[in-house]
A = this chain, B = another copy of it.
Amino acid sequence: MPDQPARPARPRVVIIGGGFAGIAAARALRRAKVDITLIDRTNHFIFQPLLYQVATAALAPSDITAPIRWILRSQRNAEVLLAEARDIDTARRVVRVDDDLRELPYDYLIVAPGARHHYFGRDDWEPYAPGLKAIEDASEIRRRFLLAYEKAEKTEDTIERDELLTFVIVGGGPTGVELSGAIPFIAKKALHSEFRRVDTRRTRVVMVEAGPRILPSFPEDLAQHAARDLADLGVEVRVNSMVTGLGSDGISIGTEKIRARTVFWAAGNKASPLGKLLGAPLDNAGRVKVNDDLSVPGHPEIFAIGDLATLSQDGRQVPGVCPAANQEGAFAAKSIIRDTRRQPRKKFHYFNKGDLATIGRSRAIADFGRVKFTGRLAWFLWLFVHIMYLVGFRNRLVVFIEWAYSYFTYQAGVRLITDVERYKPPASVSI
């Protein structure tokens, strides 16, 4: 609890990041006597669990996003700025934003900028294997996925065609499983009737995981079930397979080469570089090792939450999932409220409501500790949970219709290839 300088009448709370963690913190402060400034370098919140559906052309980007301003429109103690945090001066208690390094002073700072992909020292692989964090990532994956078929239709070279029909997904976590499971369905059902020269059913999907099994955060029996589901869909699941080379023509696993024109990356996270500015110990992935009240060591007025933070509980690390980010955001907010009431802070406790992962069109696995589900029941549960949690009524209804339509018609509704390179706006327009 920061006592010096003297606490102002209405503490200024700056929140960096409008993802699950940052939004949860802002919402939990809605009745607090504080002035909140939430900054994000984009204007939208992303419902991350469904981002892979944008990448595979099932949903539109706007179906799973909502303007951060719109989410906080009725919260009069909060303002939103489209701005990029460039520096944090913990001594002077200011965040510097944008090119002009404009200063935003704070009494409390909640740092929730999220993570990007981790290429484990091989950032030169990124152009050949985009990951999936932002809407732009999803649009890029969708573009490459759909373009591969367009190119395959045009080529006369059968070897090139096979390479174009091969998709490699690096990483066997939930994102890798969801991407891998979605591709065969679209290839075999939605695209098949539209191509004249290429047989889209010959699509090959290879999922490559460095560890001994996929979905390491799930119990072994459920992960095995998911692996069988993937195999049923035709996905080649390769475990104990560390990628050693990656380029425009495929990947290498030691001496073995898998030739593919399209590779997606779902293998790891690296926390935002903002963590380094907090002067606190970091783990290998760049995450801040926070105190058990989620504050940054040495800085009770700063909280690091969501994918920026790492914390152990009952001998296990709190996972980097949306419910944890939500709970951390709300907890950091409550610590600030307790401070203003001169109550002692509490210890954060993550409550795991259960884990869900979906595999393809109508299968999923669900882990609620003592209770576990697989198959269609788990998939309906997944559907229900995801629709219920989507921010904003409009999105819920539209997403439900898009899903119902594609479920019953075997269509992927949002197959739009746009040219991201066409516009080079002049300097006066960029922010």
Contact across chains for A140 and B43 when beta carbons are under 8 A apart: no
Contact across chains for A426 and B248 when beta carbons are under 8 A apart: yes
| B residues in contact with A430, CB < 8 Å | 421
Q: How far is it, in angstroms, between the C-alpha of A108 and the C-alpha of B418 when the chains are bound? A: 30
* Pick from B193, B197, B417: contact of A43, CB under 8 Å: B417
- Asked if A220 lies at the interface with its beta carbon under 8 angstroms from chain B, I say no
| B residues in contact with A228, CB < 8 Å | none
Contacts A416-B43, A420-B423, A424-B421 given; indicate if A431 touches B394 (C-beta within 8 A).
no
- Asked if A345 lies at the interface with its beta carbon under 8 angstroms from chain B, I say no
Closest CB-CB distance, A389 to chain B, in whole Å? Answer: 19
Contact across chains for B82 and A150 when beta carbons are under 8 A apart: yes
Contact across chains for A418 and B70 when beta carbons are under 8 A apart: no
Binds B, one of A57-65, A171-179, A207-215, A283-291: A57-65
Binds B, one of A73-81, A311-319, A350-358: A73-81
- Asked if A429 lies at the interface with its beta carbon under 8 angstroms from chain B, I say yes
Binds B, one of A4-12, A232-240, A301-309, A396-404: A396-404
B-contact 0/1 string along A258-284, CB 8 Å cutoff: 000100000000000000000000000
Contact across chains for B70 and A194 when beta carbons are under 8 A apart: yes
* Pick from B82, B393, B401: contact of A397, CB under 8 Å: B401
Contacts A73-B193, A416-B62, A417-B43 given; indicate if A429 touches B147 (C-beta within 8 A).
yes
Contact across chains for A418 and B139 when beta carbons are under 8 A apart: yes
- Asked if A67 lies at the interface with its beta carbon under 8 angstroms from chain B, I say yes
| B residues in contact with A157, CB < 8 Å | none
- Asked if A252 lies at the interface with its beta carbon under 8 angstroms from chain B, I say no
| B residues in contact with A83, CB < 8 Å | 154
A63's nearest neighbour on chain B, judged by CB, is B60
Q: How far is it, in angstroms, between the C-alpha of A128 and the C-alpha of B83 when the chains are bound? A: 23
Q: Report the interface size for chain A: residues with CB under 8 A from the other chain.
A: 68
Q: How far is it, in angstroms, between the C-alpha of A139 and the C-alpha of B418 when the chains are bound? A: 10
CB-CB contacts below 8 Å: A354-393 with B: 393
A430's nearest neighbour on chain B, judged by CB, is B421
| B residues in contact with A120, CB < 8 Å | none
Contact across chains for B248 and A44 when beta carbons are under 8 A apart: no
Q: How far is it, in angstroms, between the C-alpha of A419 and the C-alpha of B405 when the chains are bound? A: 30
- Asked if A241 lies at the interface with its beta carbon under 8 angstroms from chain B, I say no
| B residues in contact with A197, CB < 8 Å | 79
Binds B, one of A17-25, A328-336, A407-415: A407-415
Q: How far is it, in angstroms, between the C-alpha of A136 and the C-alpha of B397 when the chains are bound? A: 26
- Asked if A158 lies at the interface with its beta carbon under 8 angstroms from chain B, I say no
Contact across chains for B195 and A69 when beta carbons are under 8 A apart: yes
List 18 additional contacts besides A42-B419, A421-B425; criterion CB under 8 Å.
A43-B150, A44-B415, A60-B62, A61-B418, A69-B194, A79-B197, A81-B153, A127-B426, A127-B429, A130-B423, A134-B422, A135-B418, A139-B418, A140-B425, A144-B425, A147-B429, A394-B413, A397-B405
